[in-house]
Structure 1
């Protein structure tokens, strides 16, 4: 299990950030008004995405047409301080919004971020974030990557301490001459504290990812975690806090050393969050873990955790979100029966999943103009050769190609396995397997149950080895029953 590096690859202001609310009572109606002008516009509208859905990557979308001179006005519901993404064409900028804000935003579409100009109610908070971004997120000296990650422990911690000290001085100086809400103070402080904690926590893993040798850590390296306030007031709104919680509970789950990490990982996360978090932070993280469990965990575990969640969590916003996730992904969870299908093969035959009863099946989905799919096609022959001794049936579904062109492509590339055809994105098999992006790969056991809903790609360096290991693990487990 590896730690993600979202904090290292994205910024605090100008990236897709998620807002997590603090409870249903706080989500009463309020409004914020955003006016502005976009010079050299590339489309006829502007969109504001408010991230008000707890534990979700989706939010409320508000779109308005630009006037002839590029001006616009948006009035949106803002229940409490939250982040919103102002989008025009391919560009976007994040805004910190509070009830009652009347913010004027002016940008040039040809240089979206650098040309940003703000004024009005809400200017002070957003100006701080812009200045913080430019000083600490864009200057390489303050970044973990590309060079600071290769420092040994003593110098790496010195780098983190000096960065945090500079950030605290920056915030302190700003607050002396600017009046902001207590909510924003908490947000700004969380950005500093949890960026430090997250970068320190992920030091070893990120270093490995970029090819560095694992550093020798002192016995007390992780003692700082005892001082971190996991339930920091006001931190829920901050992406750095969310990144830290994700990585922290992954770290804690590995410390628990569950007997079967693959099987017990999500239940272990769920248990730890219940033990160590409280209030909305707990509800938010439980919601995220359940959403992941529905996608990648074992169905019996997901069902049990979902029942417990319904008893433990009273906030209707989280309950509604998790219920929608459960209904969406429950049918393709690990341990469920793989959906039956019958499709035309490249040989012109009708082929059904039932034709491979009592066999291990590797099922993939490709689509025309998918670059990664093309990479996987190039690796497919070698992938098949590596798995030849495992007795796995390779089934590949291609979506949306011209039928004759598709057949010719299969023949020309001499791709092994069974190749099936789905005419377009409305094909029932895509709905049954909840395929929304390409490529997608599944591993189906001989008894017809799904044992991996996010299987390794053929083009992945460890693809064949990981699939072989999964097959061996399944067979060994079945033999012990």
Structure 2
């Protein structure tokens, strides 16, 4: 009898372990032809490295991962979309020099991932003019709506033609198409005004309201980048409506408050609050208050710790703290450091020749430089992830003034200390090298001129 009980216990334990492994783990293996490095990475939709594979001498790789279901990118040099779900056992064949078949998946989970590759190819085959939002947003309202519907119908039809996909994945993809379409409708007014330079453009009263039947509670879609992006757009709209009415100045704190008021589903609240804390906390006017609000909203200890580290880093570049420094070469190969400029107020512009919004700020920046040229305000422009030849050419072409400095790469300590992840970015420093604002106003903001004038 004891033996029977022991065997039964061992069988139950074995079944339990098997189920646990099936639920929690993903196996990924494969081989890459013509690799660009000796490592491969899995990266989240927020550009965070989730896992790194070390290639063996024969360019193969294998590993067991304990990561949650979601959409990621498999990275050699080119991002490869990959959908991962516990119990998947995926084998990849990658050839970096084969443009028509860069990657092929086999094994459990292959159908879903091969669909993603084919779906991307379908988007690319429709051409930039037809698919790229920034291009066809210049169309008039009716043509834009027709193009948006046409793209949605083409891709939805392609999804429905698949007969070997997991039902949960089909739901995710259906909703991804739906929310990408709604997100494009929501952004049309602003995007059309930007690409046509018609800042007074408004959509007609008949334009569809993308937020009319918004669902704020679909926790199944918490892993869908398109759904989360759509909710973030809605929350921005709600937040900025409040800012206009209440005349308040901290959109980051107000966004966290909007999440608290509007998002009642814990899983969605966690994701949305984390995205604000991790990516936008640096833009808060009162980081300490915003960080406290974030902590009130979330229970996920891992995410809380990540945001706490962001908060601690931001505390080092708070108002009144001594600024991180730099030593960089100017256009004439003179080495310039921040300490060389002590005794002046310093307005720093982080920009690049490839950055459209950066270029758009140049005329306003030149006007400010002209207005303050006989004062104690020094304008400094630092290139970011740029090409030195193009940088020099644009300085000459646009007759850029101030001190122009070239950063060799994005890994210099100045960028890291200021947590630079995007440009344009502006920094204002006082005469003693202390920070006035680590996220200063843009040159095109009329309040910047007033602020600079008040310093003198």
TM-score (norm 2): 0.73
1:322 correspondence with 2:307: yes
- CA apart distance, 1:200: 0.5
In the other structure, the counterpart of 1:470 is: 448
Report the alpha carbon displacement of residue 199 of structure 1 after superposing the two structures with TM: 0.7
What is the 5 A alignment of 1:384-463?
Answer: 385-388=369-372, 391-394=375-378, 396=380, 433=418, 441-444=426-429, 450-455=435-440
Structure 1 residues 399-441: Cα deviation after superposition (integer angstroms, max 9, x where no partner): 9xxxxxxxxxxxx9x9976899999999986776556899964
Unaligned runs of 5+ in 2: 1-19, 384-395
Identify if the C-alpha distance between structure 1 residues 64 and 350 changes in structure 2 by more than 3 Å, giving closer, same or farther: closer
For residues 221 and 200 of structure 1, what CA distance do their matches in structure 2 show? 9
Bigger relative CO (Cα 8 Å, ≥ 6 apart): 1
Return the offset for 1:325: 0.9
Following superposition, the deviation at residue 201 of structure 1 comes to 0.5
| SS state at 1:126 partner | helix
Tell me the SS of whatever aligns to 2:86: coil
1:190 is matched with which residue? 175
Residues of 2 paired with 1:114 and 1:205: CA distance? Answer: 37
CA positional deviation for 1:126 = 0.9
**C-alpha deviations, 1:293-333, integer Å up to 9, x for none?**
432221x3x21121122233111122112111111222214
Q: CA deviation at 1:85?
A: 2.6
CA contact (8 A) 2:342 2:433 kept: no
CA distance in 1, matches of 2:382, 2:147: 50
Residues 318 and 420 of structure 1, relative CA distance in 2, 3 Å threshold: closer
Whole-Å Cα distance in 1 between the matches of residues 327 and 39 of structure 2? 43
Q: Deviations over 1:350-402 (max 9, x none)?
A: 9858953xx64324679xxx8689x99x9999567423268342165989xxx
Aligned CA-pair RMSD: 4.7
Residues in 1 aligned to 2:139 and 2:400: alpha-carbon distance in whole angstroms: 46
Instruction: Report how far residue 271 of structure 1 moved.
Output: 1.7
198, 205, 209: which is aligned to 1:219? 205
Q: Tell me the SS of whatever aligns to 2:323.
A: coil
Separation in structure 2 between the aligned mates of residue 117 and residue 350 of structure 1, nearest angstrom: 50
Please give the alpha-carbon distance, in whole angstroms, between the structure 2 residues aligned to 1:230 and 1:187: 16
Native 8 Å contact 1:332 1:450 kept in 2: yes
Of stretches 307-316 and 211-220 in structure 1, the one that deviates more from structure 2 is 211-220
**Do residues 236 (structure 1) and 222 (structure 2) align?**
yes
- 1:171 and 1:344 mapped to 2: Cα distance? 51
Q: Is the 8 A contact 2:323 2:429 kept in 1?
A: no
Shift of 1:96: 1.0
Please give the secondary structure, in 2, of the residue aligned with 1:234.
Answer: helix
In 2: Cα distance, 1:415 partner to 1:441 partner: 16
**Normalising by the residue count of structure 1, what TM-score does the alignment of the two structures yield?**
0.69
